[in-house]
Amino acid sequence: MKALVYEGPRKVSVKDMPDAKIERPNDVLVKITTTNICGSDLHMYEGRTNMETGRILGHENLGVVIEVGKGVERIKVGDRVCLPFNIGCGFCKNCERGLTGFCLTANPGMAGAAYGFAGMGPYSGGQAELLRVPFGDFNCLVLPPDAEEKENDYVMLSDIFPTGYHATELAGVLPGESVVIYGAGPVGLMAALSAQVKGAGKIMVVDTHPDRLKLAEQLGAIPVDDSDGNSADQILELTGGEGADRGCECVGYQCSCQGHEVPNLTMNNLIKAVRPTGGIGVVGVFVAEDPKAEDKLAKKGQLALDFGQLWMKGQKIATGQANVKAYNRRLANLISLGKAEPSQIISHELALDKAPEAYENFDKRVDGWTKVILKPGS
């Protein structure tokens, strides 16, 4: 099968790899029809993780079931399915509570597993023609009858739509409230869409890239340009000096300001921009260690946090990757009913063999490269 393989920092290539296959009775084999490049893939692409060379990338996957293991009962050949980026077993202590992003079975020794991701287990990614799905009955979301017609919408259920929604859940967004979202990348844009779905009264999205801010505005948000580093003051002005009711961090540890990484920038801006007793949801990736960081604290996975201000303002912070299965079925219903159209942020739809070029442009934040989806077999 053709697959995109990680070969080292900023070097990926499409090559022939052994076909994915059924390995256990509860496995499902999927022919991938759409797979996305995620901002989290760039952490590995840039060499900022312990990703092993020779591994297949890709954790935002959708396709058609072509084979099932002998132990699979619910999923059938021919089903069109979307796969949560989290791999869950369905029966451990965390999965039983709906916390599938922290499965205790799929990746022994660590809470959480994912496709084609550093430190998240041995599972191959789906930027390929075929994907093995473990615990298939549990992990496959069978899509509605309009799945083929709205495939570019449904593939967003694999990660960014649920992750954006998760940011609003962690922040505690309620109807009528004001929300500030740091980051107008795909996840931040999905947080804006989710806040809109929830009936937020005022949605503000902060970024420095004009093309991304334009998309935020198209989604009904107020774009806030942080090129001068004064975004928190702008949010205070937009909220009458009080601050936003809720804040979402959708950038992570590689946040930059005027060309330099400032890992604590978004968090401290949110502490300033969110009102006293407000809530902050953090879904941007922060790692346990980052040896290649410029900042000494960041090398050890630490931040210089304005904790005194956080404490004095009585704010609440909740963090962590999205438990996709907690949301994907409900969000699929919104897509099917025409209540949400996450595909509107897609900028490029490319064949799999164009993936190396896509990674390069997405990594460089080339104007107009906001969300890339790949079509294996096209």
**What is the DSSP track for 17-61?**
-PPP---STT-EEEEEEEEEE-HHHHHHHTT-S-PPTTPBP--EE
**E strand map for 196-332:** 202-207, 222-225, 244-249, 256-257, 260-261, 274-282, 316-319
163-195 pLDDT, tens digit each: 999 999 999 999 999 999 999 999 999 999 999
Model confidence band, residue 253 (pLDDT cutoffs 50, 70, 90) = confident
pLDDT at 291: 83
35-65 pLDDT, tens digit each: 999 999 999 999 988 899 999 999 999 999 9
Query: At residue 256, does pLDDT exceed 90?
Result: no
CA-closest candidate to residue 192, choices 214, 159, 165, 157: 165
pLDDT at 263: 87
73-94 pLDDT, tens digit each: 999 999 999 999 999 999 999 9
pLDDT at 258: 67
112-134 pLDDT, tens digit each: 999 999 999 999 999 999 999 99
Tell me the CA distances in angstroms from 308 to 233, 243, 280, 302, 319, one per residue in order.
Answer: 19, 17, 16, 16, 19
Model confidence band, residue 377 (pLDDT cutoffs 50, 70, 90) = confident
At a CB cut-off of 8 Å and minimum separation 6, what does 288 contact?
A: 301
Q: What is the largest CA-CA distance in the chain?
A: 61
Query: At residue 18, does pLDDT exceed 90?
Result: yes
Residue 101: other Cβ atoms inside 10 A: 27
pLDDT at 50: 87
263-286 pLDDT, tens digit each: 899 999 999 999 999 999 999 998
Q: Report the run of H or E that residue 166 belongs to, with start and end.
A: helix 160-171
194-250 pLDDT, tens digit each: 999 999 999 999 999 999 999 999 999 999 999 989 999 999 999 999 999 999 999
| Region 297-305 average pLDDT | 90
Residue 109: other Cβ atoms inside 10 A: 6
Scan for tokens 């774009």, then name that residue.
223
Q: Report the run of H or E that residue 106 belongs to, with start and end.
A: none
* pTM reported for the whole predicted model: 0.96
CA-closest candidate to residue 179, choices 270, 105, 97, 251: 270
The span from the CA of 335 to the CA of 343, in Å, is 10
SS3 376: coil
CA-closest candidate to residue 114, choices 157, 154, 58: 58
Residue type, position 276, single letter: P
